[in-house]
Amino acid sequence: MGKNVHMQTFSSCTVSLTKKDFFDTLTPAQKKLMDDNTVDIKYNKGEIICKHGTFAPYIIFLKKGLAKVYLEGANDNLILKLAAPGSLIGLSSLSDDNTTYHYTVSTYLDTEASLINIDVFRRIIRENGEFASSVICVFCNNTLQTYGRFFSFTHKQLYGRLADILICLSDRIFYKEEFSLNLTRKELGELTGMTTESVIRMLKKFRQDDLIEMDGKKLKIKNYELLLKISDYG
Amino acid sequence: MGKNVHMQTFSSCTVSLTKKDFFDTLTPAQKKLMDDNTVDIKYNKGEIICKHGTFAPYIIFLKKGLAKVYLEGANDNLILKLAAPGSLIGLSSLSDDNTTYHYTVSTYLDTEASLINIDVFRRIIRENGEFASSVICVFCNNTLQTYGRFFSFTHKQLYGRLADILICLSDRIFYKEEFSLNLTRKELGELTGMTTESVIRMLKKFRQDDLIEMDGKKLKIKNYELLLKISDYG
DNA sequence: ACTATTTAATGATCTATATCATTATTGAGA
DNA sequence: TCTCAATAATGATATAGATCATTAAATAGT
C-alpha cells in the first residue's frame, strides 16, 4: 500500500514532461491577444535564443527541437535543464523587479519557438486565474525537478549521474532505447557536472559492463533495469 | 554603466528576502476567507513542521523564528533553504497532481507559523490575479535562489561556500555582523554540502586569517569585504 | 555535582575525480 | 583528396575533500 517516498526517487533528469493543454485555459479573446503578440522564430542548431542578463521581452515556448538552458561560468557552463518541445522558457523573468533573463538558452538541434510578449503574458495571468494556475503548475514542476537534480549532484557520484542522464534522454527526449546522441562528451559533462574525460571513462565502463552499446553517434541502452539501479544507488 | 551580470553574482545563500506586502492584494472578503481557514501554531526548537511525502493540507507562512527546508538522504540531509520570517513554505505542493510536501521542514528556533488551507489558497489564486502574480513572484525568487545555490555547489569549493553562508546569515537572517550561531557544525555542513570536519577546518582557517572571530556560540565577521571576495572567487 | 551524550577539534589516511599530457579519430572546408 | 580543427580516447599524476580514529569540550539528564 502507498508509494514509498524516498531520496532514491530523485534523479538529475533535466526535462519536465510536456504540458500539451497549457494554453487551453485561455478565452478566445485572450488567445487572440496572445497570438497577436507572439512571433514564431526558427533557430539553427547551435544558435543562442536568449542571453543571460539581457532584458526579457518574451516568454519562450519551444515548439520543436531541443535547447539547453544554462549558466555561463568562467570556463564551463552549468546546464540547468534541457528544454524539449512543450517547454516554457523565461518564466523566472515574470517577476516585476527582475525583468532580465536569468540564464542563457541555446539550441542543440534546429528549433522552432514562439516568442510571447512578456507583458501580455503577465496581463493574461492577472486576468485569467486558470491560466495563472497553469503557470504556477509549471513552476512547481520545475522546482521539483531542480530539487531532484540538486540532490543528485550533491549525493550521487559520477556513475549515478551519468546513468540518470542516459535514462532521461531515453525516456523523455527520444522516447526509445536507441537514439542518436547529439550531445558531445563535453555537453554530457555539463549536464552531469563532470569533466569530459570522466564522461568518456564512465561511458567506457558502461559499455564494458554491457549496459549500453555505442556505434558512432548511435547509443542503445541494453540493460535499462541495471542502469536504473545504478542511478538509484548513486 | 550598467550592472555586470556574471557568474560571480551567484551565491549559495539560502534565504529569500521577505515580502511584507504579500497578502495586501487580497480583498476584504478573501482576507476573511483566508483567516477563517488558517490556524496559527507555535513550534518548539527542533520540531518538524511538515514531513516529505505526507499530504499537504496547508501552505505554511512563517511568522517568527527560523526553519530549515530539506531533503532527507540516507545519512545526511540536503538543506534546500533556510526559511526566515516572511517565507512561504509548501508552494510546490500547489500543483494539482502532486499534493504532497516535497521536502521536510523543521525548526531551528522557537517558531510561529500560520497554516493556510491549501484549497482556499488555490481558490484565491484563481480568483485574484494580483495575488496569483505575487505567488508567481515568490516562485521566481525561489527559482533564482536555487539556481544560484546550484551554481555555487557545482562551481565553488568549500571556502567559497562557507563564506557564502556566513554572509547570508549576517545579511539576511541576523541583520548584523555579530550574531549567535544557532547552527551546529553539522548543520552548517548540510547547508554548504560539506562534512562536519571540513566545516570545522574551514572555520579555523577563517579564524586564523582574521576573517571572523568566534567565542562560544558568538560569531563576528571581522573582514566582510574579504569574505565576499572569497565567496566570489570560489 | 556527576555521569552520559552530543558536539567540537585535530591528525592520519584514503579515494573519487580533476588536471595534465599525449595520441587517435572524426568532420568540415578548401 | 588533403589539411586543419574539433572531438574522443587513454594513461599518469595531483588534490580537494571525505573518511576514520581519537581526544577534548560542552550540554543535558538524573
Residue A90 (CA) to nucleotide C25 (C1'), in angstroms, measures: 39
Closest chain A residue to the Cα of B138, Cα to Cα: A95
Instruction: List where CATH 2.60.120.10 sits in chain B.
Output: 25-151
Closest chain B residue to the Cα of A190, Cα to Cα: B154
DSSP annotation of A76: S
Mean pLDDT score, B57-68: 93
Which of A114-128, A160-174, B136-150, B166-180 is most confident?
A114-128
The ranges of chain A with pLDDT < 70 are: 1-9, 12-20, 75, 234
- Higher per-residue confidence, B138 vs A21: B138
Say yes or no: Cβ of B158 under 7 A from any atom of strand D. Answer: yes
Instruction: List where CATH 1.10.10.10 sits in chain B.
Output: 156-233
Residue B215 (CA) to nucleotide D28 (C1'), in angstroms, measures: 21
Residue A21's pLDDT is 76
Residue A179's pLDDT is 84
Which of A219-233, B42-56, B110-124, B146-160 is most confident?
B110-124
**Residue percentage of chain B with pLDDT more than 90:** 54
Long-range contact list for A17-26, CB < 8 A, 24+ apart?
A17/A86, A17/A141, A17/A172, A18/A84, A18/A85, A18/A86, A18/A87, A19/A86, A19/A134, A19/A137, A19/A138, A20/A86, A22/A86, A22/A88, A22/A134, A22/A138, A25/A128, A25/A130, A25/A131, A25/A133, A25/A134, A26/A124, A26/A128, A26/A131
Residue A150's pLDDT is 87
Which of A214-218, B57-61, B103-107 is most confident?
B57-61
**CATH fold for domain B156-233:** Arc Repressor Mutant, subunit A (1.10.10)
**How is domain B25-151 classified at the architecture level of CATH?**
Sandwich (2.60)
pTM: 0.89
Calculate Rg over the CA atoms of chain B.
19
pLDDT, tens digit (0-9, with 9 covering 90-100), for A83-123: 989 999 999 999 877 789 999 999 888 899 999 999 999 99
